[in-house]
Amino acid sequence: MTPLRVPALGQEPGDTLAALCKAGGDPLRLNVLRALHSASFGVLELAQIFATGQSGISHHLKVLAQAQLVATRREGNAIFYRRALPRPGSLGGALHAALLEEVDALALPSAVQTRIGEVHAQRAAVSRDFFARVAEKFQAQQDLIAGLPQYRDGLLSLLDALALDPRGCALEVGPGDGAFLPDLARRFARVVAVDNSPAMLELARQRCQRDGLAQVELQLADALAEPLLAADCVILNMVLHHLAAPAEALQQLARRVAPGGSLVITDLCPHDQTWARAACGDLWLGFDQDELARWAQAAGLQAGESLYLGLRNGFQIQVRQFARPDQGNTPS
Ligand SMILES: C[S@@+](CC[C@H](N)C(=O)[O-])C[C@H]1O[C@@H](n2cnc3c(N)ncnc32)[C@H](O)[C@@H]1O
């Protein structure tokens, strides 16, 4: 049997287990863990979700952090909490994993679920307002971080390597001004593009008209609220960091990938350029590569090809393909 990894110097093994048991010994903390199942929240958001004071929720988060049940990620001035992963082979690792499994069988009180929806809606509204305001200077805004010309070649090489059926259908979520639609139209018999910003969709419509892209259908819709068709290739270019709950979004979008098809995501790697929030409407400062793969896996997809592109301005782009296995049914 492999020996268990020992706790940090000065800490008795019993302390580690006691911290874990203490952290799990409170219904509110269990519900916080449940709420963090596929989302991360800031302290103020958690205070809102659990209708409790900021200092109270901070105390509970501190207890959870001491037990290494939650981890933090700094996003500018804000700190976001997510679940920490159980570490198999570490002292308490099995207890941690069992606790999360039991917690996930709990249903959150309906008032908490409602308030989670409200927090997500507040985040989504920030993003929608941004795109309503910036349509006319959209390209300049995009170029502040990463415009399509900087990742187009890499993205196309990945798409072409997938050898997707040209008779198939592509679904682009958040096409913005539609700059990638001509590339998709050259590769797929049918292209559907869904954007929830009327101003952005108008730019995409003008481009389709200009370029004679008859096979592109544009839809004004929230891609996460409306039932969308299942496509052979679902593509999101620089969209995920504008979505309120990216892990949940992947669950929904994965259902739109036909069996044997792919979800292709282009987005930023983690960065600390907080000005991107105000200047570019970003809700998230990039995504950890492993975390993105875990979300996709939890959504029933398998990590496939990936490309990483460093930019001169210091940002790094990840182009990721996640495949839906051919067998089995597409979840409804
Ligand atoms: C940063 S732009 C990216 C545009 C384009 N894909 C590109 O790379 O240039 C993000 C786009 O996603 C759209 N968007 C954000 N949330 C959305 C949602 N829930 N459903 C559909 N479109 C959304 C925005 O309106 C915007 O057009």
Query: Is the Cβ atom of 266 under 6 angstroms away from ligand 1?
Result: no
Q: Does residue 226 sit in the same domain as residue 163?
A: yes
Provide the pLDDT for residue 5: 53
Q: Does residue 43 sit in the same domain as residue 103?
A: yes
Ligand 1 mean position to 20 CA, how many Å? 41
| 65 occurs within a structural domain | yes
pLDDT one-digit tens code per residue, 100-135? 999 999 999 999 999 999 998 988 888 888 887 777
| Ligand 1 closest atom vs CA 249 | 19
80 — pLDDT class (breaks 50, 70, 90): confident
Distance (Å, whole) CA 267 – CA 197: 19
Query: Is the Cβ atom of 176 under 6 angstroms away from ligand 1?
Result: yes
Provide the pLDDT for residue 329: 47
Query: Is the Cβ atom of 181 under 6 angstroms away from ligand 1?
Result: no
Provide the pLDDT for residue 142: 72
Residue of the CA atom closest to atom 10 of ligand 1: 239
Query: Is the Cβ atom of 245 under 6 angstroms away from ligand 1?
Result: no
Provide the pLDDT for residue 60: 97
Of the two residues 331 and 181, the one the predictor is more confident about is 181
| Ligand 1 closest atom vs CA 280 | 1
328 — pLDDT class (breaks 50, 70, 90): low
Q: Does residue 298 sit in the same domain as residue 164?
A: yes
Extract the runs of DSSP E, i.e. beta strands, from the chain. Answer: 41-42, 70-75, 78-83, 169-173, 190-195, 216-220, 231-237, 257-268, 302-310, 316-323
| 202 occurs within a structural domain | yes
Residue of the CA atom closest to atom 21 of ligand 1: 195
Kindly report the CA angle at 317 between 314 and 320, in degrees rounded to 5? 165
| 331 occurs within a structural domain | no
| 328 occurs within a structural domain | no
Q: Does residue 305 sit in the same domain as residue 158?
A: yes
CATH at 259:
3.40.50.150
| 125 occurs within a structural domain | no
pLDDT one-digit tens code per residue, 185-198? 999 999 999 999 99
Distance (Å, whole) CA 237 – CA 154: 12
Question: CA dist 293 to 202, 250, 298, 302, Å?
Answer: 33, 10, 9, 8
What residues make up the domain containing 237? 134-323
Number of domains in the chain: 2
Question: CA dist 294 to 140, 260, 291, 319, Å?
Answer: 33, 19, 5, 15
Provide the pLDDT for residue 75: 67
Q: Does residue 314 sit in the same domain as residue 260?
A: yes
| 8 occurs within a structural domain | no
Q: 2-27 as b/e, with b when 16 or more CB fall inside 10 Å? A: eeeeebeeeeeeeebeebbeebbeee
Query: Is the Cβ atom of 158 under 6 angstroms away from ligand 1?
Result: no
Q: Does residue 159 sit in the same domain as residue 90?
A: no
326 burial type by CB count under 10 A (0-12 exposed, 13-18 middle, 19+ buried): exposed
pLDDT one-digit tens code per residue, 207-262? 999 999 999 999 999 999 888 789 999 999 999 999 999 999 999 999 999 999 99
Query: Is the Cβ atom of 194 under 6 angstroms away from ligand 1?
Result: yes
Q: What residue has token string 């706790």?
A: 7
| 101 occurs within a structural domain | yes
Ligand 1 mean position to 91 CA, how many Å? 44
